[in-house]
Amino acid sequence: MRPLRALAAAAAVGVLALTACGGGGTNTPAPGGGLKPPKIDKLASLGAGEGEVNVISWAGYVENGTNDKNFDWVTGFQQQTGCKVNNKIANTSDEMVTLMKSGDYDAVSASGDASLRLIYGGDVAPVNTDLVPNYKDIFDGLKLKPWNSVDGVAYGIPHGRGANLLMWRTDVVTPAPTSWGVVFDANSPYKGKVTAYDSPIYIADAALYLMKHKPELNIKNPYALDATQFQAAVDLLKTQNANIGEYWSDYTKSAQSFKSGNTVVGTTWQYIANLVQADKGAVQAILPEEGSTGWSDTWMISSKAKHPNCAYMWMNNIVSPDANAGVAVWFGEAPSNKLACPKAAELSGDANFCGTYHASDEAYFDKVWYWNTPITQCLDGRTNVTCKDYAAWTQAWITIKG
Amino acid sequence: MSAPVSTVDKPAGADAAGGPVRQVAAVLHRRAGVRLGLLLSAPMAWLVVAYLGSLAVLLFSSLWTVNSFTGEVIRQPSLANFRIIFTEPVYRTVAVRSVGVALAVTVIDMLIALPMAFSMAKVAAPRFRAWLVIAILTPLWASYLVKAYSWRVMLANGGPVDWLLGGPGHGPGYGLSATVLVLSYLWLPYMILPIYAGLERLPNSLLEASADLGARAGRTFRSVVLPMIVPSVIAGSIFTFSLSLGDYITVQIVGGKTQLIGNLVYANIGAANNLPFAAALATIPVVIMIGYLVAVRRTGALDQL
């Protein structure tokens, strides 16, 4: 419980400082000069549907049965509410933030490294949880967390969580790896066939590895890196670059690379592992001993939503026991709705699905560092140093790729 | 010239002095400059507003910065973006790499297009020429993405290219060479067509005269053909060079971990949401292209176009 609580507390401190609402112990200037989220009213009551809803989602979150007829939580919703769902798949959190800024979308499945940026950018509105009947069944461990709320105001509906995994080709990579070391080893026997996630947030994966293997750096939180720690992570990634075959952000390309053998080891999502295994690719994916980065996703509603009623109905649908179970099984993550477990067990054929994915297992998620937005105010609570913010991470990521 | 004009104009002017259309017509008739100006104003407006205007906006916005947390654009001019581009070595590396790729693609296309265009224009029977041109143009009708993704499949580990070269792992795989290969394939028609057009205008009699004077094929090519088609080759090279310089999709699909300028621009728009920095980066290819065009102009090749 300790790391998670530390993270939560640290992030809460960061947010407190960010909102400059004083009271707390911190008096260092907040990034952007003491920002408060723009005042945006939440929807007071639900009206009739507008006929359609435009959503941005991670691949596999909005399935209408075309990939597999057992996985369809769109068709029924469209028939019931008359809201046609137009889905746009985004590959990275940055893409989601950019798309949301366009104002053309009503709802988004944002991870922790996007949600705060959206809240403080005024791109999303607070959510009136009374209008989402299924909200009451969501695990309490996911409600009103630092990445989906500000000052006790909910900005979204928790959707599910999971970890970034280490995947390898079982016919090439022997012995089976148990540590992220296999992707960071400078003398890797798999030179030119290693892959990594193509986003600045991947720097946190290197930081997490250093956290366990270079204790002298004293990294407490992979999203709170001061100049020295940050440089160590960047150096590690520059070493890794020599072994990288390609960086992936497009999940279909990653699946194809693992299938053809252009890539034999690297970071992945359970969803990609499922795709490759369904295609008879010899791969296996695990949560390595160091733990991993991961996500805890939140459905948020745009402050400029043109179809707010349909968006609320969609948010209620996506966390309903059936749809939430469908997403959890299809994407390979832990559901957020406690009533989703029986349905997920039925869909997956795993009677203990919620156990397998550690749905309410906080000890397991202690090893998972949810994606978070790095800010100059260190998220681990240190006040004597400044941390590298996301802009610095972005610049560094370009340098790492060279 | 002015005398007959006035004799024709006078009676009409006397009849319908108040006819506005007539008056305008008369003014336009007398002032050739105004006439030309009006005629050109629509295309000029398009050129200035849509073309140069967008370039100006690009330059202006490259001086702005972005709030790193909320992503809001701060509209205060500063040279911060350019300072980063000039001080961080990675941007120099990527710019040099992009120019290298563009040059390599241009040279490869030139080497392939010269003999192909020559055989199309001079060797093939005239009735086949139209069909050969159609055959060259057909790939342009297929989607760019379809072609790039088919190359991804062909270049995959154990794919057809590997197989041709002797088994899995023998091919180039994904990377810089794959990028050059696929770009050369994609832009080849843009090199062949201008050279073909140039060769078609070259009279056969010149080749015959050269042969009559005892020159062998190589000498004829160097002394007669090449000097006359240099403008066409340069026209083609402008296409292949600029298209390669701006490309970012092919390199994403087959480039492995390679980054070109286009990727950096795309990453700053799509991922980092830093439009001003993307604008600053986008000025690099603009400057390179201006340099290239000036160099081409110096050779005198543009005068003959």
pLDDT at residue number A30: 38
Taking CB atoms and an 8 Å limit, are A262 and B267 in contact across chains? no
DSSP per-residue letters across A101-118: HTT--SEEEE-HHHHHHH
Strand partners of residue A272: none
Query: At CA A183, angle to CA A181 and CA A187, rounded to 5?
Result: 80
Taking CB atoms and an 8 Å limit, are A375 and B69 in contact across chains? yes
pLDDT at residue number B41: 86
**Chain B residues inside the 8 Å CB shell of A401:** 257, 259
d(CA A89, CA A313): 20
Which residues fall within 8 angstroms of residue A214, CB to CB, at 6 or more apart?
A232
Among the residues of A160-278, which ranges form H helices? 181-184, 203-213, 227-241, 251-260, 270-278
Q: In a structure prediction context, what are the per-residue pLDDT tens digits for chain A, which is 402 residues long? A: 344 444 444 444 444 333 333 333 333 333 433 467 888 888 888 889 999 999 999 988 999 988 888 889 999 999 999 999 999 999 888 889 889 988 999 999 999 889 988 998 899 999 999 999 999 999 988 888 888 888 889 999 999 888 999 999 999 998 999 999 999 999 989 999 999 999 899 999 999 999 999 999 999 999 999 999 999 999 999 999 999 999 998 888 999 999 999 999 999 988 888 889 888 889 999 999 999 999 899 999 999 999 999 999 999 999 999 999 999 998 888 999 999 999 999 988 888 888 878 888 887 887 889 998 888 888 888 889 999 988 889 889 999 998
**Chain B residues inside the 8 Å CB shell of A266:** none
Contact yes or no for B254/A398 (Cβ under 8 A): no
Contact yes or no for A223/A288 (Cβ under 8 A): no
Task: Tell me which of B66, B70, B274 to substitute to probe the interface with A (most A C-beta atoms closer than 10 Å).
Answer: B70
pLDDT at residue number B301: 67
For residue B213, the tally of other CB atoms under 10 A from its CB is 9
Retrieve residue A385's tokens. Answer: 């140093």
Go through chain A and tell me how many residues it has: 402
Contact yes or no for A35/B69 (Cβ under 8 A): yes
Chain A residues in contact with chain B using a Cβ-Cβ cutoff of 8 Å:
31-32, 35, 92, 94-95, 97-98, 101, 117, 120-122, 192, 199-200, 241, 244-247, 253, 256-257, 260-262, 373, 375, 389-392, 394-395, 398-399, 401-402
Nearest residue on chain B to A393, judged by CA atoms? Answer: B272
Long-range contacts formed by B123-130: CB under 8 A, 24+ apart: none
> Half-sphere exposure (CA, 13 Å, Cβ side) for B109?
32
pLDDT at residue number B295: 87
pTM, two decimals, is 0.78
Q: B174 to chain A nearest CA, in Å?
A: 7
pLDDT at residue number A110: 94
Long-range contacts formed by B117-121: CB under 8 A, 24+ apart: B117/B192, B117/B195, B117/B196, B117/B198, B117/B199, B118/B199, B118/B225, B120/B192, B120/B196, B120/B199, B121/B196, B121/B199, B121/B200, B121/B202
Contact yes or no for A127/A154 (Cβ under 8 A): yes
Task: Tell me which of B66, B68, B97 to substitute to probe the interface with A (most A C-beta atoms closer than 10 Å).
Answer: B68
Average pLDDT, consecutive stretches of 10 residues, N- to C-terminus, chain B (305 residues) = 44 57 86 84 85 87 80 83 90 94 96 93 90 91 92 90 84 91 95 93 91 90 89 92 93 92 86 83 92 85 62
Chain mean position to CA B65: 30
Nearest residue on chain B to A376, judged by CA atoms? Answer: B69
pLDDT at residue number B18: 65
Nearest residue on chain A to B74, judged by CA atoms? Answer: A32
Nearest residue on chain A to B96, judged by CA atoms? Answer: A402
Taking CB atoms and an 8 Å limit, are A122 and B70 in contact across chains? yes
Retrieve residue A136's tokens. Answer: 């009451």
Query: At CA A74, angle to CA A70 and CA A76, rounded to 5?
Result: 85
Which of B70, B174, B255 faces A262 most closely, judged by CB atoms? B174
Retrieve residue B283's tokens. Answer: 């000025």
ipTM of the complex: 0.74
d(CA A302, CA A314): 13
Q: Which residues of B58-87 are buried (b: 16+ CB within 10 A; e: fewer)?
A: beebbbbbbbbbbbeeeeeeeeebeeebee
Which residues fall within 8 angstroms of residue A250, CB to CB, at 6 or more apart?
A91
